[in-house]
Structure 1
Amino acid sequence: MAVEDVVQWVDQFTDLIQQFPLNDIVFLLYPLILTVVGGSLLYFTHTDYWDKPKRYTVPAPKKPDDVKILDNPTIKVSGTTAIQCYMPATGQFLGFVNPSTPAGIDRAIAQAQAAQEKWAKTTFNERRKVLRTMLQYVLDNQEQICHVSSLDSGKTMVDAQLGEILVTAEKLQWTIKHGEAALRPSRRPTNLLMSYKKNTVHYEPLGVVAALVSWNYPFHNLMGPIISAIFAGNGIVVKVSEQTCWSAAYYTSIARGALVAHGHDPQLVQSVVCWPQTAGHLTSHPGISHLTFIGSRPVCHAVAASAAKTLVPVVAELGGKDAAVVLDSAANDLNRIVDILMRGTFQSSGQNCIGIERIVATPGVYDKLVSMLEPRVSALRMGLDKDVGAMVSDASFARYEKLIADAVADGARLLAGGKRYAHPDHPKGFYFTPTLIVDVTPDMAIANEECFGPIMTILRTPSSSASDILTVVNAPDFGLGASVYGRDSDPVLRSVVHGIRAGGVAVNDFAVFYAVQLPFGGVRGSGYGRFAGEEGLRGLCNLKSVCEDRFAWLGIRTAIPPPVKYPVPDQGRGWRFTKGVVGMGYAVTIGGKVKALGDILRNM
């Protein structure tokens, strides 16, 4: 049984179960049934079933034995070029990491290049084995991975489980199951004039690619580019953020350990950390064939300019101002929707590129939604063992407070939070109070600037029409993701889904387009290009077009006709002949083709 057969079975099962009312029990049983039956079919029928993953160990980073709370937690300290690492949740010192130099970056690229020359010759089956072993390690060690991420970035263990483990496991599983199909040579159509040719597009490794990734998901943002790069046959250098570099060596060793377990060169995967003034050496390096950038718009301007020096292609994901649109037709589903809005806004303290930055509600549900959200937001507790964790630093706190104060001065209502929080147990930690601000209008700065923090912002649309809704939703100069909530049969829902200018839209859910490995990226100020899915894998390849003779075995090949051989005997005759050739190939009527054939025969 093929994967496609299992998918068809799932679709048929879904159609059947939708004929019955879905109460809570059935809703819980449904994914269980699909997991047990569908997953078993996939597992036991997969061609690589008997290739068992290998177990390996990687030492986790250790905190210093002596607990030292920094008076002023910051990555840069006087007297050293080393990067100071600390726990954002407590201010506890974790250690120093020496940044890479230009010479160090040169060595990393050279080592990856040497390893890639051999790796490029591996089969897809060999690459799958490495990824399957890597997946097994992630599943076996997820608590340790989450704990390290929590120490380094300040997120709770629950947020780490969802934002680090789940999405990384999904990317590994998707690539194992579907990566080869995306990268196999694909046949392409021909035309009448070239009907004796056969056309194929081949997806070949680029060499060594690079990724510059952000700090909000230190494990997933590092592993995601590695998974895609090595499956496509490339080597990779990942430049990690200075804010979360303490965990980078451990996470890199996880990828390298899977390579070593199967006898491959671990130097294929490299990670570096450096100060901004050194990063340009990587982004303009002639040894880099492709660059993925995840970060802010101002930094992307510098990265793109640097990459242009060597014409390195760039995929840029620059965050967003994602809207969650709640329609009047969602009125009977608000209890479920409120749960999603809370998770979508406050996961990882709002430090989520596809987090919900704006809730756009239509008049019929606006007041009810506000009344339901106010007590929920006000009840949120702060701390690693509570609901909302720490932020990576306090660099944006003054900006948050000003955005909120300006909005209130212009007529918005602050119902919860709105200021930094002094944690009673961790006064040196970086916390911002979960915030709810309503009656926000599209002209306010808080409705247009990416906050990247635990701030829930609610806007009311002028009416319930699709045009008024889209005017509000599409106002900011961002377009990464969005979500729309309403009755499936509501024509407004479909109009809004198709009218939103964004790279991905989730219907009656939040950000699921990322969790199922659809191509990911944005438009306008949210960047360009895509990673994840088939498009993301192919984007890490040289797309080589190959055109061959279909009937070479019969001796049928291209021959230059006498009227157009160099030297051309007669330009007039040659032009009439080629005019006939064009007519034969592209005339839109039979009569036109017959006339063209006459031109050819008369001028042979």
Structure 2
Amino acid sequence: MIQCYCPATGAYLGRLKATSKPDVDTAIAKCKTVQETNWKHTSYDERRRVLSTLLTFLKENQEQVARLACRDSGKTMIDAALGEILVTLEKISWTIKHGESSMKPSKRVGPANLLIRYKDAEVVYEPLGVVLALVSWNYPLHNILNPIISALFTGNGIVIKCSEQVVWSSTHFIAMVRSCLVACGHSPDIVQLVCPWPEDTDALTSHPSISHVTFIGSKPVAHKVLEAAAKSLTPVTVELGGKDAVVVLDEYQKSWKNCDALASVLMRGSFQSAGQNCIGIERIIAQPKAYESLVATLKKRIPVLRVGSVLDETQSIDMGAMINSERFTSLKFLIDDAVYHGAKLLCGGQAYSHPQYKHGSYFEPTLLIDVTPEMLIARTELFAPVMVLMKATSVDDAIRMSNAPDFGLGGSVFGKRGSVATERVVREMKTGNVAVNDFATFYVCQLPFGGVKGSGYGKFGGEEGLRALCLAKSVCRDKYPGISTSIPGVVDYPIMNMQTAWQFVRAMNVASYASGAWEFGWNLLQLVLNLK
């Protein structure tokens, strides 16, 4: 049994049975049956109707849905509204409006061969079957619905493996989706939720009926997932978090007497969901003028942030709890190590004992300045409410510092719009996603999302994300009636004259890829002369 607790209060939420290996087989078999017999044959209109029903439900029940996410993850209602509901509404709306056009057959230019230009070429996109998503706990609503939306729209069935940390809310969110399917006249078995213990997860990731795996999590676990998926040669898209940098150039503001607007963006990127965000701001790299202004502003604003539980409706809070306290010791070590090597701790830096919720998992909002790239904290993903400031002497220095860790998921640059320096940072930042003068909006824009280096590989989101869940089938046809491929007698089996056949084929190859009219004409003549 999986015991479920609220991270913000320690309150017991209940217990749920972990998924056994036989249960995994049953869930996949149910999903596969419905996908093959029904769902893959549904029209885009039918799929849109399901998504529209889900969209309406989310809009009309935001508070109840947000409270479920908050109770299981410890975040605030505002964090849930922005990081859970808003991005999910955007994903659904975008898919309803643009999903079908993304899935239309892709016309291709066809062969470069001058002699077979009568061929028409295209790529069509067909469902893979049953796809699997192993998702992390930090966004219990969105991380579940995001792959479900894409899978259903592309005609696939989907099995979701949630984290045992948030299985309590996950069961409610899956029930919500399944109810929408039933309301639209479809079997709910096309969507399955499983939560086996880690030692039983291999039976899921190596299952021969799984056609694609999306994994969101840590690098050590990714190695195990990939090893298991290799047994059945199942393709995997891997997203492993990041060490996202924000580069702030002095040119961004004419005057640095006030930087409250920028500080607000940086604080949202650092402290939303208590910093437990794969594209959260882990490092702020600023040039000297911007750096001094940011330090002066942030050291006043961060210490007054209020920490607590969404369940306490008697006061407003700014930041919720972390998922648990397991990493508090390592966080404290990294912060102390940075201070030992010259960084300055301006506020926070340790676990917080909430006066009302003694069993809550709280860490103080932390501001650490004068961090250098050599420090452990500058190279280790924190996934915590710790804001790290680093001073860059030049644009070159800022780019070098941003690319130093073995991560490359997201990043931002704040500079003059279209300036040489700003565009250079965009171009040279080694990361899968970049926001200019903003934070993480590449995700809301439904662009293909994924990283490089230690942040993983493959993409989900946008057109590429939908197509990644499809078989890209290449199809070629004859363009014109009565014109098709035939085998000339000179090269037909059995070949009667090898020398003549060779001269024919040689002339055909040169004519097919001729660099000019004379070369084409001469070799076409040779081809005709050797036809018999």
Provide the TM-score with structure 2 as the length reference.
0.96
Match of 1:185 among 78, 88, 105: 105
Q: Match for residue 587 of structure 1?
A: 514
Q: Deviations over 1:262-281 (max 9, x none)?
A: 11111000011111011111
Greater RCO, 1 or 2 (C-alpha within 8 Å, sep 6+):
2
1:149-185 per-position Cα deviation (integer Å, ceiling 9, x unaligned)? 1100000000000111000000000000000001111
Instruction: Choose 285-294 or 196-205, whichever is displaced more.
Output: 196-205
| 1:139 alignment partner in structure 2 | 59
Q: Does structure 1 residue 88 correspond to structure 2 residue 7?
A: yes
Residue 548 (structure 1) aligns with? 477
1:460 and 2:385 correspond: no
Partners of 1:581 and 1:337 lie apart in 2 by 65
Map 1:68-217 → 2, pairs under 5 A: 82-117=1-36, 118-191=38-111, 192-217=114-139
Q: Does 1:575 align with 2:502?
A: yes
- The answer on whether the counterparts of 1:84 and 1:95 sit within 8 Å (CA) in structure 2 is yes
Contact kept? 1:328, 1:464, Cα under 8 Å: no
Structure 2 partner of 1:444: 375
Within the alignment, does 1:357 sit opposite 2:357 as a pair?
no
1:58 corresponds to:
none
1:468 CA displacement:
2.1
User: Does the residue aligned with 1:443 lie in a helix, a strand or coil?
Assistant: coil
1:259 matches 2:181: yes
Structure 1: how far apart are the matches of 2:381 and 2:291?
A: 22
> What is the rounded CA distance, in whole Å, between the counterparts of 2:455 and 2:420 in structure 1?
28
Shift of 1:464: 2.1
Cα deviation digits, residues 375-409 of structure 1 (max 9, x gap): 11111111124111000011111110000011110
Q: Show CA shifts across 1:300-342 (max 9, x none).
A: 0110111010010000011000001100112347322111000
1:241 is aligned with what amino acid? S
Q: Distance in 1 between matches of 2:20 and 2:130?
A: 19
Picking from 291, 296, 309, the partner of 1:371 is 296
Q: CA RMSD in A?
A: 1.1
Moved over 6 A (4+): none
Say if 2:228 is the partner of 1:306.
yes
CA deviation after TM superposition for structure 1 residue 562, in Å? 1.8
- Distance between the aligned counterparts of 1:431 and 1:549, measured in 2? 66
Partner residue, 2:209: 287
Question: Match of 2:75, SS?
Answer: coil
Partner deviation per Cα, 1:211-240 (whole Å, 9 max, x = no partner): 000000001000110000010000000000
Give, in angstroms, the shift of residue 589 of structure 1. Answer: 2.3
| Per-residue CA distance 1:51-79 (angstroms, 9 max, x = gap) | xxxxxxxxxxxxxxxxxxxxxxxxxxxxx
Q: Distance in 2 between matches of 1:155 and 1:501?
A: 31
User: 2 CA distance for matches of 1:386 and 1:514?
Assistant: 26
Cα distance in 1 for partners of 2:526, 2:334 equals: 73
Q: Within 5 Å, give how 1:389-428 maps onto structure 2.
A: 389-428=320-359
Residues in 2 aligned to 1:266 and 1:534: alpha-carbon distance in whole angstroms = 26
Find out whether 1:487 has 2:416 as its counterpart.
yes
Structure 2: where are the runs of 5+ without partners? 310-315
Match of 2:313 in 1: none
Instruction: After superposition, give the CA deviation of every residue in 1:361-384 in whole Å (9 maximum; x if it has no partner).
Output: 012321111111111111111112
Identify the residue that residue 435 of structure 2 maps to in structure 1: 506
Residues 495-538 of structure 1 show CA distances to partners (whole Å, capped at 9, x for unaligned) of: 00111111110000000010111111101100000001000000
- Residue 579 of structure 1 contacts residue 599 of structure 1 at CA under 8 Å; is this kept in 2? no
TM-score calculated relative to the size of structure 1: 0.85
Q: Distance in 1 between matches of 2:283 and 2:442?
A: 18
Name the SS of the counterpart of 2:53 in structure 1.
Answer: helix
**2:447 aligned with 1:527:** no
- Distance between the aligned counterparts of 2:147 and 2:382, measured in 1? 25
* 1:602 has 2:529 as partner: yes
Q: Once the 2 structures are TM-superposed, how far is the Cα of residue 570 of structure 1 from its aligned partner? A: 2.6
1:429 to 352, 360, 366: 360
**Counterpart Cα distance in 1 of 2:56 and 2:374:** 49
Partners of 2:511 and 2:261 in 1: how far apart? 62
Structure 1 gaps, min length 5: 1-81
Deviation by residue 1:106-164 (Cα, 9 ceiling, x = unmatched):
00001001111211111101110110011001111110010011100000000000111
The secondary structure found in structure 1 opposite 2:284 is strand
1:15-37 alpha-carbon deviations (Å, 9 max, x no partner): xxxxxxxxxxxxxxxxxxxxxxx
1:477 aligns with 2:477: no
Give the residue type in structure 2 aligned to 1:323: A
Find the aligned partners of 2:145 and 2:265 in 1 and give their Cα distance: 26
Query: What secondary structure, in the 3-state scheme, does the structure 2 residue paired with 1:440 have?
Result: coil
The amino acid of 2:346's aligned partner reads L
SS of the counterpart of 1:289?
Answer: strand
1:235-246 map, 5 Å: 235-246=157-168
Q: What amino acid maps onto 1:143 in structure 2? A: E
Question: 2:218: which partner in 1?
Answer: 296
Report the CA distance between 1:568 and its aligned residue: 2.0
* Distance of 1:394 and 1:578 partners within structure 2: 72
Q: State the one-letter code of the partner of 2:321.
A: A
AA partner of residue 185 (structure 1): P
Shift, 1:194, TM fit: 2.3
**Does structure 2 retain, via aligned residues, the 8 Å contact 1:168–1:224?**
yes
Distance (Å, rounded) in 1 between the aligned partners of 2:283 and 2:68: 31
Q: Secondary structure at the match of 1:479?
A: coil
C-alpha displacement of 1:576: 2.2
2-structure distance, mates of 1:135, 1:314: 28
The equivalent residue for 2:199 is: 277
* CA distance, structure 2, for counterparts of residue 89 and residue 230 of structure 1: 34
Task: Summarize the Cα distance change of 1:196–1:490 in structure 2 as closer, same or farther, 3 Å threshold.
Answer: closer
What SS class does the counterpart of residue 370 from structure 2 fall into?
strand
Preserved CA contact (<8 Å) 1:329 1:490? no
Q: Percent identity?
A: 52
- Shift of the alpha carbon at 1:470? 1.1
Tell me the CA shift for residue 591 of structure 1: 2.6
Question: Could you say which residue in structure 1 is the equivalent of 2:143?
Answer: 221
AA of the residue aligned to 2:77: M
- Tell me how far apart the structure 2 counterparts of residues 481 and 138 of structure 1 sit (CA, whole Å): 28
Alignment-derived partner of residue 445 in structure 2: 516
Count, aligned residues = 519
Give the secondary structure class of the aligned counterpart of 2:237.
Answer: strand
Aligned to 2:312: none
Alpha-carbon distance in 1 for matches of 2:16, 2:302: 38
